[in-house]
């Protein structure tokens, strides 16, 4: 799994926000099991709405530094991308757990995409977020919690 430089992650998530990031292989399926807690106590998700979306991005100035991959991220301008909904599964509200499902085949990346070339200097990229919307409870107003997402998609050298 690739390591991204702190400056790159800060471009996407800001200075001190949560982020899930990684480098995926074209057409890879994977998942992240998430458990939300405060001081070791699970956060009850009862009544909360959880959704996750990503959108295609453009990468430039990709450099592998001693601190991880560094690059600039911008809006994708080759075509107008639409947001892709990701699946939230295995939700257990009382335990504060759920699974973020990654099925890259649903992201409309085709094997002939030049950004999948094994030597691409601006690989396919997606950024987005998981949004957990908690309802108001007593005197506590409604609030949202955001976990940012950043994925690079590369060829395995066999497909493209």
Residues paired with 50 in a beta bridge: 132
Residue range 76-98: mean pLDDT, rounded = 92
Q: Which domains does the chain have, with CATH numbers?
A: 6-154 (2.60.40)
Reported as a single tens digit per residue, the pLDDT across 105-116 is 767 777 667 777
Locate 96 and state its tokens.
């504060």
Task: Collect all residues with Cβ–Cβ distance below 8 Å to 154 and sequence separation of at least 6.
Answer: 23, 24, 25, 26, 116, 118, 120, 123, 124
Contact 148, 13 (CB under 8 A): yes
> What per-residue confidence (pLDDT) applies to 1?
43
DSSP state of 115: G
State the Cα–Cα distance between residues 68 and 79, nearest whole angstrom: 29
Alpha helix stretches (DSSP H) within 1-159: 6-13
Question: Measured between alpha carbons, how far apart are the two ends of the chain, in Å?
Answer: 20
Q: What pTM did the predictor assign? A: 0.85
Tell me the pLDDT tens digit for each residue of 23-48: 888 888 889 999 999 999 999 999 99
Residues 6 or more apart in contact with residue 144 via CB below 8 angstroms: 131, 132, 133, 134
Q: Would strands 124-134 and 49-65 be described as parallel, antiparallel, or unpaired? A: antiparallel
């Amino acid at each position: 799994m690739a390591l991204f430089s702190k400056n790159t992650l800060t471009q996407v998530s800001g200075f001190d926000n949560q982020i899930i990031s990684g480098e995926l292989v074209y057409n890879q399926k994977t998942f992240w099991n998430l458990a939300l807690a405060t001081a070791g106590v699970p956060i009850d998700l009862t009544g909360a709405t959880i959704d996750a979306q990503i959108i295609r991005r453009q990468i430039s100035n990709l450099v592998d530094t001693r601190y991880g991959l560094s690059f600039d991220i911008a809006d994708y301008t080759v075509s107008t991308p639409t947001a892709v909904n990701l699946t939230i599964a295995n939700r257990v509200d009382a335990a504060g757990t759920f699974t973020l499902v990654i099925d890259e085949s649903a992201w409309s990346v085709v094997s002939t995409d030049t950004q999948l070339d094994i030597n691409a200097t601006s690989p396919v990229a997606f950024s987005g977020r998981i949004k957990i919307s908690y309802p108001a409870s007593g005197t506590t107003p409604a609030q949202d919690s955001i976990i940012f997402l950043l994925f690079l998609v590369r060829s395995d050298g066999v497909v493209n």
